[in-house]
């Protein structure tokens, strides 16, 4: 009997080694090498035969006909926005998120909406039985006849059912439970995830069927398995949110058919997920009036302006090294802005603890929120509340200047729509657009000017 060959594969990046190593040379992670069986010649031929179906003749770029592919739209405007306008036929989309966050609920609702439009939908569950899926469907009010549920983990049997049913839309929940018989490693391993995703991609492209696959996440919050999985699919969506809050955020981190900055917001109800059409009102509804350290910023999430509250708490430190903590923003931005305030404005912050938070659980990463953070810190330090009718927009430079930001007109329009009376923006953003009615625009050049405008120069 021929000796079976084994190889050690990193479960993080897919690096292969003939012997075990404590530290992976590919991603420098520790204790990620797992022993797996090498695929046999028969399975290798089968995989090679699968790859041959992609062979085609080279064509001149000028002779290829370009046309806008029609998209499949759901009844969820937020879901369509994150995908770039709808579901593209033949696309392979990966959705990741923490356990219990609502991935299966979201996809079951989407499946029901598509099935209600007379599309044939196949929902494949590898983690639940058909009865368990039916219990969730009853709670969500799923009643479409053309929604078919299959509890199966064998990829060969799944392929046979796809050939038999010929669906228009497929959901795989989840990819870590699906296995391929030719691959000898356990389900969820690097080899199984890679080969199963590659076969699903062949089905999606060959039959022009959109396929959504659910991926588990690690404790660090990234998709479990090799990064190769994210490179293979057409779009990667993350479903985020705190389990103790009802709001969920669907964010695109990769999208070959649209923007990667779009964000969709949902609220978890007893009957399922309900989309939030105006998230700014939700994020500002619990804002306390006249509180020191509270400011409002108009941030852009893709093509949509979102107004959120930034809160700061500055207090004298009782430690040798002051603490700098941030939630919802890059924690390195807080000491940077505090250094600008200390050097350019003269606020003595070196012996103060600083805690900065974006209310509502949103994560902001654009430079236009710098000014709101700086004014929030100064307001808490001086214990003087800023004007509750002000919205602050602008990037802060290391020399204390306020730099221009993009899409200033959409930001100010959103602020005016929600009843804000004044917008403090960079001076260089003043010209070239029409100011909406009911709001005053104040241009500032430096952080010192912004403090005078926001806190009345006190």
Answer yes or no: is 100 a known binding residue: yes
Q: b/e map of 421-440 (b: 16 or more CB within 10 Å)?
A: ebbbbbbbbeeeeeeeeebe
Answer yes or no: is 98 a known binding residue: yes
Whether the CB-CB separation of 295 and 376 falls below 8 Å is answered with yes
φ/ψ bin of 161: left (φ > 0), alpha (ψ from -120 to 50), beta (otherwise): alpha
List, in sequence order, every beta strand (DSSP E) within 278-341: 294-301, 304-316, 324-327
Answer yes or no: is 87 a known binding residue: no
Answer yes or no: is 103 a known binding residue: yes
Answer yes or no: is 207 a known binding residue: no
**Cα–Cα distance measured from residue 239 to residue 82, given in angstroms and rounded to the nearest whole number:** 11
- Please give the helix or strand (H or E) that residue 121 lies within, else none: strand 121-125
Answer yes or no: is 14 a known binding residue: no
The three-state secondary structure class of 336 is: helix
Whether the CB-CB separation of 133 and 149 falls below 8 Å is answered with yes
The residues pairing with 443 across neighbouring beta strands, listed in sequence order, are 425
Answer yes or no: is 111 a known binding residue: no
Whether the CB-CB separation of 150 and 158 falls below 8 Å is answered with yes
**Cα–Cα distance measured from residue 226 to residue 351, given in angstroms and rounded to the nearest whole number:** 44
Answer yes or no: is 90 a known binding residue: no
Q: Which residues fall in the annotated binding site for ATP?
A: 97-104
Q: Which residues fall in the annotated binding site?
A: 97-104
């Amino acid at each position: 009997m021929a000796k079976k060959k084994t190889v050690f594969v990193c479960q993080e990046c897919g690096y292969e080694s003939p012997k075990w190593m404590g530290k992976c040379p590919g991603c420098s992670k520790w204790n990620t090498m797992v022993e797996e069986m090498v695929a046999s010649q028969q399975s290798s031929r089968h995989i090679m035969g699968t790859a041959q179906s992609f062979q085609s003749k080279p064509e001149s770029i000028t002779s290829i006909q370009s046309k806008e592919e029609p998209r499949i739209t759901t009844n969820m405007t937020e879901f369509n926005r994150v995908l770039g306008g709808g579901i593209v036929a033949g696309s392979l989309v990966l959705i990741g998120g923490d356990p219990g966050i609502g991935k299966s609920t979201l996809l079951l609702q989407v499946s029901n909406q598509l099935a209600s439009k007379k599309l044939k939908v196949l929902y494949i569950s590898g983690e639940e039985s058909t009865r368990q899926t039916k219990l969730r469907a009853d709670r969500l009010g799923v009643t479409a006849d053309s929604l078919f549920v299959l509890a199966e983990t064998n990829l060969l049997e799944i392929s046979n059912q796809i050939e038999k049913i010929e669906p228009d839309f497929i959901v795989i929940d989840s990819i870590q439970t699906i296995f391929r018989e030719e691959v000898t490693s356990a389900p969820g391993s690097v080899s199984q995830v890679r080969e199963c995703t590659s076969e699903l991609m062949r089905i999606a492209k060959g039959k022009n069927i959109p396929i959504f696959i659910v991926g588990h996440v690690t404790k660090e919050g990234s998709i479990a398995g090799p990064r190769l999985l994210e490179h293979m699919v057409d779009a990667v969506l993350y479903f985020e949110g705190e389990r103790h809050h009802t709001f969920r955020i669907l964010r695109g981190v990769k999208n070959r058919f649209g923007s990667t900055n779009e964000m969709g917001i949902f609220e978890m109800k007893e009957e399922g997920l309900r989309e939030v059409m105006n998230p700014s009102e939700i994020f500002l509804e619990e804002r306390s009036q006249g509180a020191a350290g509270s400011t409002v910023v108009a941030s852009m999430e893709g093509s949509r302006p979102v107004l959120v509250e930034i809160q700061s708490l500055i207090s004298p430190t009782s430690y040798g090294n002051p603490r700098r903590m941030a939630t919802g923003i890059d924690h390195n931005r807080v000491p940077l802005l505090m250094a600008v305030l200390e050097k350019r404005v003269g606020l003595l912050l070196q012996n103060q603890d600083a805690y900065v938070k974006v209310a509502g659980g949103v994560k902001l990463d654009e430079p236009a929120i710098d000014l709101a953070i700086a004014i929030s810190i100064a307001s808490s330090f001086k214990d003087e509340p800023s004007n509750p009718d002000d919205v602050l927009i602008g990037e802060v430079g290391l020399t204390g200047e306020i730099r221009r930001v993009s899409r200033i007109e959409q930001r100010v329009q959103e602020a005016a729509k929600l009843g804000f009376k004044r917008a403090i923006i960079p001076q260089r953003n003043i010209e070239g657009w029409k100011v909406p009615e009911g709001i005053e625009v104040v241009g500032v050049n430096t952080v010192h000017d912004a403090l005078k405008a926001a806190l009345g120069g006190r």
